[in-house]
Structure 1
Amino acid sequence: MGKAQKKKAMRRHNPMRVPDSHLPQGLASASETSSKTEAILPIIQKMQGTDVAERKWACVAVSNLIQNDPSTRRLLQGKNVVGALITRLTDSEEEVAIEALGALRNLCIDGGYDICAEMYNKSILVPLRTFVPKVSTTLSQYLEGAQNAPENAQTLVYEFADNLITVLWCLSETSNKALTAINEMKLTPFLMSFLAAREKIPLAPVTAAAQCLYVLTDDNYPAIADVRSDGSYIACLMSILTPDETSPPPNPNGKAPVDSPDPRAVTLRVLASGILRNISPIPPPSAASAVDVDKDIVLPQLQPVVSALSLPEASASALELISKSQQDSTTPNIEKLSLKNTPKTDHKSPAEIELERLEGRLRTVQLALEILTGACATLPDPEPETEGEVPTGANEEGDDDIAEDAEDDDADLPPDMDMAIDNDVAMDASAPQPLPALVQPLLALIQPTTLSFPPLAAPSPHPPTTSALSAIHVAALECLNNIFLALARSGGGGGSAADTAGGRAVWDAVWAALGVVGTQTGPGQERRRAMWEVAVGVLWGVASVYRGSLDPNPEHVRALMALCDGASAAAATDAQLRVKCIGTLECLAMSPAPASLEANATIAAYLLSMLPSLSAPVSPAGTEPMLQAAASLIDIYSDEGAPWDGNFRTGGYLERLAESVEGVKKAVRAIDRRKEGGRELRRRGEEVRDNLVAFVEYRRGLGL
């Protein structure tokens, strides 16, 4: 089953707020779908004009126009608004540069990677490099004698720092080139200075600094080494996790107290936990070097965060706020935009501000889930694997085929590209472990709300909330995926009747969520697809851990087959999806219940159809799914005494498997080791080929 890995593509605390994949491409279509087309040209003209007030106005206008409006954002991009704003960063008037940076910050958040890449290619880092020491110097001056500085000047600097750091963090996720350039800026002391001063300055720049450092320390050795090298940095991060004596006590029912502090304080603790996990193991002489970061920091800090959120309540609150926002809509005429306020808060009603706060809380939970995903891969601790211990043939007990692909570091790939195990490792372990306590809150977070997956024909009334909700569902499934991967490795979860009932509850909960998600496809429905892709990994893990305890539901069997058939044999990500579907079907085929014999035959026939034959020497399913189908058939029928083995004998499966041997051999020889993942796939193919040959000989020798 596939282990969900943390990828930079998923680390954005605030990813593209308004997904725009459902919109037609091209400026013409953007012009047709935008209600502000006529405002674009005046903005660009005034941004490049000689009047300071107009240049400032134009920068503010960009921030206001793009909010929740991907069509207008695309139109502005088509008019080179990014290049124009970068030029304004070196404007002779400081206020214009401040507003330009704010607009660029909002473009980063609302536009995603494409806009960030455009900014990098247009040399935005050149002016940003000059801002870092200036902000650092000003921050030091304020901290040494803050009472001497006017309050509005301090506010301006802190907002500027927030915007600067946010742009740098978004750029660091854009490409390896951008990350390398930002590494050269040596930002760690700058960012840590905000964390160290968190009690004296606003939380916004502090959390932005923590987010930037969190992203920079994600599999990025230069930043990791910088943080590790200074014991005061680690002490500062640890101190963020120490409860503030002035904070209200936690509510015993797990819900946040009514008078809870700024939610960004929670975000800060989540980020500090993530940074410590990124830099672990923490080297001595730090006192934290003896700490088990996952068990002693990540789980205690983040499990309450994800447990406290009620998605139905959040969705209901969002709908109420959306209604208020629509009733009190004060969307300004572009000509009347205020020049006094900052781009982030111009002309927002109280309901709109509350919606942003709600989105922030949702994004914090999403972030916590993404950090927990890595920790969940070690719950419970798996037994150490013996190097080189690989089964080579079939026997009466049934052999376990293990395939492990190297982790893919490409940020553009889906997180589930690491094939970890394909069946129930150590299911006869003598001390099965119960389900971790984290499972129950995760099951609550995978259940869609009315705002999570609106149909394409009726777009979401508030796309940012919809994006955050659906991201939480996917992230919670990834945590579950890794929990059951770890359980399968350790042999946990399959002991008592209570444990078995818990496994069935998880199985039913995942299918219930998928039933709400549905199978609608097309532009704008990518998160539905992601739900299925990750959920099938969870189903495979649950089915492996509770093999023999889950009776196959014909509807589930048909759904898995349909999903597998709908995947492309040519796409690498779809090949992984097919493998997971096949692995889940394998486990379902091994139910001992008499009523399950028909499902066993249905599944076997389906898996056999994926194997090469004399008439069709190339598998229609693709090489990797074909290998998984062969391995699954071997596992299902490795014990001739199993209740379902009659299907093998009466169905002529042995002859069909024997017929496939030559085709499997040819397919394995054709695997290109030079391609990405090719070496591991070739090794896996050779194992399956040898097992298949041995299995055919074994079954023939039985003479049944």
Structure 2
Amino acid sequence: MGKEVRKSAKRRSNPLGNRVTSGVQRGLDEQQPTLQSDQVLPVVQKLSSQDATERAWSAACISNLVLSNTANLKLLLSKGIVAQLIKLLGDDSREVVEESLGTLRNICSIDPAVCHEYFAKGILTPLSAMLPQISHIIDLVLKDASLADEADQDRRTSIWDVAENFIYIIWSLSETSDNYIKAINRLNIIAFLISFLSAADQCPTKVVIAAGQCLTTLTDDNKDIYIEFQNHPDYIQTMLNILDKFDSPEKILVRVLCCAILMNIREIVQLSGSWDDERDAVEELNRKFMPILISSLDFDIQNAANECKVAIDSGNVTRHDESTEITPKPKQPLTQQDIYINNTIERLTTLQLSLELLSNICLQDESDEDGWEDSDENMDEAEADGMADKLTEDNIDEYFNDMEKLGGSSAAVEENALRSSPVINMFTVEVFPRLIQLSTPTVLSFPQNPTLNFGVTPSLALTHQRALECLNNFFLAMNDIPSQFWFKEHVEEAKRTWSWLFSTANTIGSAPESQDRNDLLEIIVGCLWALGRGLGQNIPLEPSHVPMLCAAFTASSIDSMRVKIVGTLGPIATRQGDISTNKDIGVFVMDLLGNLCSQRSQVDVVVEALNVIYDTYSDCAFDYDEPVYVQGNFNNRLKQLLPLFKSMVKSVDRRKNFDLRARCDEALMNLVAFIKYKATERRS
């Protein structure tokens, strides 16, 4: 059976906000004036002034400009400001250094791609020099050491902003490239970041969160970092202590970040001294994480969105000044409406990370169901194409025997252990209902005027996306259990979810076109695919469902979306007692197979369509087999498609797309075998 690839999307919202603006002022670029080259040139020139005050003023002006308008940012980047600002990180003036650091932080918060230029211009060199200085000043603050002079007072006053900006830049670089992470590993940055978690009750929460977010990225699939934690078990104990004692609402994101870090390094985290096997270790960690993650989901996003809309409609939300004046103005105090919207966005950030972690828990301990695919990775292109050419109904059995010898067997799932798992029980009873709530669109999820969303709309959309991804992975995990007991024991809940998914798709589909909208629709179809496989004969199909899916397939030009739609049609088609629906789906799939094979495009869609045919018409005893497959002459149509599909398979380069080519080779063998099987099935 075709199977959707599971993954948790990597896109994350910025948990740190902007340094200068309130964070609710975004989305107004279209309304902001754009400066001309001759207007910004004097500002840029002052970056190299002999006067430190002018250098600091220039950096602050640039920060003001880039935050007001992305067009201004592009103009300033073209003037080479990155190299100049990086150079100023080594300036003799504390004020110049701090303004330049803050401006560099703001630039990469708006345009993360600029991190490539940061790295190329050598930003890690001045940052590495700043690291011990920042650590020393923070140590003085935490120890409440006596002040040396007025300059010492100034350094201590600004140190938390400096630390946050410093960490943000490191975090942004880490998110940009694995190669940059390797360079960052050499900065001895882990001890610095852990120090904020160790003093989480003394440091401002925003800086602790910044350190936690940066550590989450640095420990994600980064084996080189493991040795740091192995050599310093106190780092792990620090995070475990936070899980146990920091339960105040304002520290909830800190606890969730510690869960994320510990989950990333779970191979070296040991809670109880010894385990029978690695599965026990993972289970124990998950039992510790789950209550924290579940409690973090207790947030009414519908009410929050309504309140944010009231705040926006009140007119008391801060906006950028629409003048073209470039001189920085004093920071305006935030209104109550600003604060509420900011707090909502921060709370949504916590939800997104918690949902991502819960989604990852669903993916743990997967067995490799297609072990044979990796065993022939060394086969060259000519061998693979030769195998495709030689496949016939006469020798297909020989090829299947060879593949079985190469393949490995997956371990049997211990059903009773899974049924009694506290983690699965918490997912079923506590997480599942919250996923439905958090996936349901709000009044601000898809506003008619998206330029006035003040940052709430993208945060809500990403929250819906994370919740739906988690829902999808939960269904996939429950499908992996041989008995699929969840779908049987919670059939009414599963059926309601099927109907709810279609209703939600209708709501989102009527919203203005956007990337967030399209992403959510694709994830919903993925949920329907996984849920349909579990429900099987219990799918609560309505007359509009199949036409909606077929229309969505025709309207979409995205291969991954089309694969999911075809996959979703599969379990619908296998329902007994509905020959008419089966015929509609069978004809639709056979027609698209003919069209796609002749065009030699969308290979993955063809593979999934073939998998649907194999699963749907695998037995002549099915009530729809004779009136649809036989009378529709499907077998001869498949035989006619065989040469086209062979040619399509050979067009997939194994060196560039090994996984896809492996799926194609499997589908080709299955196609030859299936044609042979269906030709003789009714004679036996």
Q: Shared fold by TM > 0.5?
A: yes
Which residue does the alignment assign to 2:532? Answer: 543
Shift of 1:60: 2.8
TM-score (ref. length: structure 1): 0.80
Which residue does the alignment assign to 1:667? Answer: 648
- Distance in 1 between the 2:548 and 2:100 partners? 51
Shift of 1:583: 1.0
Work out whether residues 256 and 354 of structure 2, in 8 Å CA contact, stay in contact via their aligned partners in 1: yes
Which residue does the alignment assign to 2:579? Answer: 597
Work out whether residues 578 and 625 of structure 1, in 8 Å CA contact, stay in contact via their aligned partners in 2: yes
Which residue does the alignment assign to 1:405? Answer: none
> Residue deviations 1:503-555, cap 9 Å, x none?
11221222222212116676xx1111111222221111001111111143343
Which residue does the alignment assign to 2:516? Answer: 527
Which residue does the alignment assign to 1:169? Answer: 171
**Equivalent position amino acid for 1:235 in 2:** Q
Shift of 1:591: 1.9
1:275 aligns with 2:261: yes
- Distance in 2 between the 1:618 and 1:18 partners? 51
- Distance in 1 between the 2:418 and 2:267 partners? 31
User: Which deviates more, 38-47 or 475-484?
Assistant: 38-47
Which residue does the alignment assign to 2:129? Answer: 130
Are residues 53 and 538 of structure 1, via their aligned partners in 2, closer, same or farther at CA, if it must alter by over 3 Å?
Answer: same
Pick from 495, 501, 508: which aligns with 1:510?
501
User: Which deviates more, 616-625 or 539-548?
Assistant: 616-625
User: Which deviates more, 81-90 or 639-648?
Assistant: 81-90
Shift of 1:97: 1.1
Which residue does the alignment assign to 1:651? Answer: 632
- Distance in 1 between the 2:82 and 2:545 partners? 49
1:618 aligns with 2:563: no
Alignment of 1:453-602 (within 5 A): 453-455=446-448, 458-491=449-482, 499-518=490-509, 525-568=514-557, 574-593=558-577, 596-602=578-584
Work out whether residues 426 and 488 of structure 1, in 8 Å CA contact, stay in contact via their aligned partners in 2: no
> Residue deviations 1:556-587, cap 9 Å, x none?
3233223333444xxxxx33332221111111
Shift of 1:489: 1.0
**Equivalent position amino acid for 1:681 in 2:** L
Shift of 1:314: 1.6
> Residue deviations 1:602-637, cap 9 Å, x none?
111111113348xx9635652221122112111111
Higher helix share: 2
- Distance in 2 between the 1:325 and 1:55 partners? 36
Matched position secondary structure for 1:547: helix
- Distance in 1 between the 2:418 and 2:235 partners? 44
Shift of 1:480: 1.2
- Distance in 2 between the 1:628 and 1:309 partners? 38
Matched position secondary structure for 2:648: helix
Matched position secondary structure for 2:620: coil
Work out whether residues 267 and 364 of structure 1, in 8 Å CA contact, stay in contact via their aligned partners in 2: yes
Are residues 351 and 64 of structure 1, via their aligned partners in 2, closer, same or farther at CA, if it must alter by over 3 Å?
Answer: farther
> Residue deviations 1:271-321, cap 9 Å, x none?
000000000122559859856365223322212212x12111121122223
Identity of aligned residues (%): 29
Shift of 1:374: 0.9
**Equivalent position amino acid for 2:206 in 1:** A
Are residues 617 and 627 of structure 1, via their aligned partners in 2, closer, same or farther at CA, if it must alter by over 3 Å?
Answer: closer
> Residue deviations 1:59-113, cap 9 Å, x none?
33343444464333333333333334223322331112112211221222222x2
Are residues 464 and 557 of structure 1, via their aligned partners in 2, closer, same or farther at CA, if it must alter by over 3 Å?
Answer: same
Are residues 51 and 377 of structure 1, via their aligned partners in 2, closer, same or farther at CA, if it must alter by over 3 Å?
Answer: same
Shift of 1:471: 0.8
Aligned residues: CA RMSD: 3.7
- Distance in 1 between the 2:418 and 2:119 partners? 56
Work out whether residues 242 and 255 of structure 2, in 8 Å CA contact, stay in contact via their aligned partners in 1: yes
1:37 aligns with 2:35: yes
Shift of 1:236: 0.3
Work out whether residues 536 and 580 of structure 1, in 8 Å CA contact, stay in contact via their aligned partners in 2: yes
User: Which deviates more, 433-442 or 465-474?
Assistant: 433-442
Work out whether residues 548 and 592 of structure 1, in 8 Å CA contact, stay in contact via their aligned partners in 2: yes
The count of corresponding residues between Structure 1 and Structure 2 is: 625
- Distance in 1 between the 2:637 and 2:616 partners? 15
- Distance in 2 between the 1:313 and 1:445 partners? 12
Work out whether residues 494 and 500 of structure 1, in 8 Å CA contact, stay in contact via their aligned partners in 2: no
Are residues 293 and 559 of structure 1, via their aligned partners in 2, closer, same or farther at CA, if it must alter by over 3 Å?
Answer: farther
Are residues 656 and 443 of structure 1, via their aligned partners in 2, closer, same or farther at CA, if it must alter by over 3 Å?
Answer: same
Pick from 577, 590, 607: which aligns with 1:627?
607
Pick from 266, 284, 295: which aligns with 1:304?
295
Work out whether residues 478 and 485 of structure 2, in 8 Å CA contact, stay in contact via their aligned partners in 1: no
Work out whether residues 174 and 180 of structure 2, in 8 Å CA contact, stay in contact via their aligned partners in 1: yes
Alignment of 1:290-369 (within 5 A): 290=281, 292=283, 294-306=285-297, 308-324=298-314, 326=316, 331=321, 334=325, 337-338=328-329, 348-369=334-355
Alignment of 1:243-282 (within 5 A): 243-244=245-246, 261-262=249-250, 265-282=251-268
Shift of 1:347: 5.0
1:699 aligns with 2:683: no
> Residue deviations 1:113-143, cap 9 Å, x none?
2122222222222211111111112222333
Alignment of 1:15-34 (within 5 A): 34=32
Are residues 87 and 430 of structure 1, via their aligned partners in 2, closer, same or farther at CA, if it must alter by over 3 Å?
Answer: closer
Are residues 74 and 298 of structure 1, via their aligned partners in 2, closer, same or farther at CA, if it must alter by over 3 Å?
Answer: farther
- Distance in 2 between the 1:617 and 1:468 partners? 41
> Residue deviations 1:30-72, cap 9 Å, x none?
9x86325266445334444344334333333343444464333
User: Which deviates more, 87-96 or 617-626?
Assistant: 617-626
Which residue does the alignment assign to 2:381? Answer: none
1:451 aligns with 2:444: yes
Where does the alignment leave 5 or more consecutive residues of structure 2 unmatched? Answer: 276-280, 375-390, 394-399, 401-412
Which residue does the alignment assign to 2:385? Answer: none
Matched position secondary structure for 1:2: coil
1:203 aligns with 2:187: no
User: Which deviates more, 281-290 or 42-51?
Assistant: 281-290
Are residues 37 and 234 of structure 1, via their aligned partners in 2, closer, same or farther at CA, if it must alter by over 3 Å?
Answer: same
> Residue deviations 1:387-443, cap 9 Å, x none?
5599x999xxxxxx9xxxxxxxxxxxxxxxxxxxxxxx999x998998723121111
Shift of 1:5: 2.2
Shift of 1:219: 0.9
Work out whether residues 589 and 636 of structure 1, in 8 Å CA contact, stay in contact via their aligned partners in 2: yes
> Residue deviations 1:301-342, cap 9 Å, x none?
212212x12111121122223234547768497466456xxx
Matched position secondary structure for 2:618: coil
- Distance in 1 between the 2:16 and 2:634 partners? 52
**Equivalent position amino acid for 1:697 in 2:** K
- Distance in 1 between the 2:351 and 2:267 partners? 24
Are residues 452 and 14 of structure 1, via their aligned partners in 2, closer, same or farther at CA, if it must alter by over 3 Å?
Answer: farther
Work out whether residues 494 and 546 of structure 1, in 8 Å CA contact, stay in contact via their aligned partners in 2: no
TM-score (ref. length: structure 2): 0.82
Are residues 210 and 612 of structure 1, via their aligned partners in 2, closer, same or farther at CA, if it must alter by over 3 Å?
Answer: same
Where does the alignment leave 5 or more consecutive residues of structure 1 unmatched? Answer: 24-29, 248-259, 340-344, 395-400, 402-424, 569-573
- Distance in 2 between the 1:650 and 1:277 partners? 54
**Equivalent position amino acid for 2:7 in 1:** Q
Which residue does the alignment assign to 2:223? Answer: 221
- Distance in 1 between the 2:483 and 2:78 partners? 55
